[in-house]
C-alpha cells in the first residue's frame, strides 16, 4: 500500500479529490472530500497530488544535530507519544514520538492485530519529534496493540539509560482528558508519557498517610432542573466511544443526577435525552418505573423539547 492516512489524492476517472481517511486493505482505501463524505475507492483509481503535504508531514518539529551538552544540563527524561488530529482530515489522528531528552533515540514500532506489522524504524535526534503512525479516529476500539522499543544513545560521558519498551493497546479513556499544547511540535493534542520520572519518597508524608483523619462526609451537588444527557455534553472524548459505552456514560450521569435530586428533595427534574432511536429514552423509562422515589414521569413540554425529554415528578 503506497498511500497512508492523511495523504491528499485525486481520482483518476473523475474530477474529485480529498484526503485518505481509511485504509481497508491493500487494494481499497476511503477518501474524504470537502463535503466530509467518505468514499470507498480502489487504490489504483487515485493518484497522489505532488507537492502537497499531509497533516503528519506538516507538523514537522524534527531537529538535526547532536551538539555536546554540559553534564549539568544533560536531560535524561522526557519521552512522549503526542497524538494530534490531521490539520486537513480531522477524522485522522497522527502519533508523534517526542524526544525532549539529550539522547538520540533508536526507535522501532511494530503493531499487533492477528499478525505483526512493522510500522516505523528510525533515529530520533534530541529535542525533536517524528510521526510514527496514523489511524482513523473513530476506529479506536479496533486499533492494533503497539509494541514500541527505544534505545538511548549518546557519545557523551553519561551512564547508559535502560531501554524503554512500551507494549499496550489504547482505549478511549486514554484520550478522556482535554487537549494540551504538546512539546517540540507545538500543536494541541493528547500527551502520553512513556518514561516516568523516578519517584522520590517523602518520609514525613509517608508517615502522615498512616494517620489520616476520618474522611469527611461528601457533599452532593444540587443538580439543575434540566439535565442534558447528550454525550457531547458529558464527555470530550465521545468521538472515541462505541454506542454501548455512550449509553453506559449517559445512564451513569442520569442515575447520579436523579440521586442528587432526591437528596436535595427537588419536586421534579427533566432529563433531555433526544429523540434518536429511542434506546436511551426507553432505558430511562424502564428504570424510572421501578424507582421507589419516583411519583410519575411523562414527556416534557413538546413545544420546547419535542419528544426528546422526560419530566420526572419525585415523591
Output the tens digit of pLDDT for each of the chain's 315 residues. Answer: 578 888 888 998 888 888 888 888 888 888 888 777 788 889 888 888 765 555 554 444 443 445 667 767 899 999 999 999 888 877 889 999 999 999 999 999 999 988 999 999 999 999 999 999 998 877 888 899 999 999 999 988 888 889 999 999 988 777 777 788 999 998 999 999 998 765 455 556 555 555 555 555 557 788 888 999 988 888 877 777 778 888 888 999 999 999 999 888 999 999 998 887 888 888 889 889 888 889 898 888 777 777 788 999 998
**Nearest in space to 195 (alpha carbons), one of 157, 235, 152, 153:** 152
C-alpha gyration radius of the chain: 26
Number of domains in the chain: 3
Q: How does DSSP classify residue 183?
A: T
**How far is the C-alpha of 113 from the C-alpha of 125, rounded, in Å?**
30
- Do 44 and 131 lie in one domain? The reply is no
Residue 22: which domain range? 8-48
- Do 187 and 231 lie in one domain? The reply is no
Q: Which residue is it, cell 474522611?
A: 215
Residue 107 domain flag: yes
**How far is the C-alpha of 93 from the C-alpha of 210, rounded, in Å?**
45
Helix (H) or strand (E) holding 231, with range, is helix 231-234
Residue 282 domain flag: yes
**How far is the C-alpha of 193 from the C-alpha of 306, rounded, in Å?**
46
- Do 182 and 121 lie in one domain? The reply is yes
- Do 180 and 283 lie in one domain? The reply is no
Residue 134 domain flag: yes
**Nearest in space to 158 (alpha carbons), one of 63, 72, 65, 66:** 72
Examine the fold and report which residue of 175, 196, 217 is the final residue of a domain before the chain moves on.
196
- Do 37 and 88 lie in one domain? The reply is no
- Do 144 and 93 lie in one domain? The reply is yes
- Do 32 and 92 lie in one domain? The reply is no
pLDDT of residue 64: 46
Residue 207 domain flag: no
Amino acid at each position: 500500500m503506497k498511500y497512508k492516512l492523511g495523504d491528499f489524492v485525486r481520482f483518476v476517472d473523475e474530477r474529485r479529490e480529498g484526503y485518505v481517511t481509511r485504509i481497508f486493505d491493500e487494494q481499497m482505501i476511503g477518501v474524504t472530500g470537502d463535503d466530509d463524505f467518505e468514499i470507498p475507492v480502489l487504490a489504483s483509481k487515485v493518484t497522489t497530488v505532488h507537492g502537497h503535504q499531509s497533516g503528519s508531514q506538516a507538523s514537522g518539529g524534527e531537529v538535526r544535530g547532536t551538539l555536546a551538552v554540559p553534564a549539568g544540563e544533560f536531560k535524561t527524561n522526557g519521552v512522549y507519544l503526542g497524538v494530534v488530529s490531521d490539520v486537513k482530515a480531522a477524522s485522522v489522528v497522527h502519533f508523534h514520538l517526542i524526544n525532549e531528552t539529550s539522547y538520540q533515540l533508536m526507535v522501532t514500532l511494530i503493531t499487533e492485530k492477528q499478525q505483526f506489522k512493522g510500522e516505523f524504524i528510525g533515529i530520533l535526534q534530541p529535542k525533536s519529534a517524528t510521526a510514527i503512525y496514523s489511524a482513523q479516529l473513530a476506529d479506536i476500539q479496533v486499533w492494533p496493540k503497539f509494541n514500541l522499543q527505544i534505545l538511548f544513545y549518546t557519545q557523551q560521558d553519561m551512564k547508559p539509560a535502560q531501554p524503554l519498551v512500551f507494549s499496550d493497546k489504547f482505549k478511549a479513556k486514554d484520550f478522556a482528558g482535554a487537549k494540551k499544547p504538546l512539546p517540540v511540535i507545538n500543536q494541541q493534542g493528547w500527551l502520553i508519557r512513556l518514561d516516568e520520572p523516578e519517584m522520590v519518597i517523602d518520609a514525613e508524608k509517608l508517615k502522615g498517610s498512616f494517620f489520616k483523619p476520618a474522611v469527611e462526609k461528601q457533599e452532593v451537588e444540587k443538580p439543575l432542573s434540566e439535565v442534558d444527557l447528550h454525550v457531547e455534553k458529558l464527555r470530550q472524548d465521545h468521538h472515541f466511544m462505541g454506542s454501548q459505552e455512550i449509553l453506559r456514560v449517559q445512564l451513569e450521569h442520569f442515575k447520579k443526577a436523579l440521586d442528587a435530586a432526591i437528596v436535595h428533595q427537588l419536586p421534579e427534574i427533566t432529563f433531555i435525552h433526544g429523540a434518536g432511536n429511542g434506546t436511551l429514552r426507553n432505558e430511562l423509562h424502564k428504570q424510572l418505573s421501578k424507582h421507589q422515589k419516583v411519583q410519575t414521569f411523562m414527556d416534557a413540554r413538546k413545544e420546547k423539547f419535542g419528544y426528546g425529554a422526560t419530566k420526572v415528578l419525585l415523591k
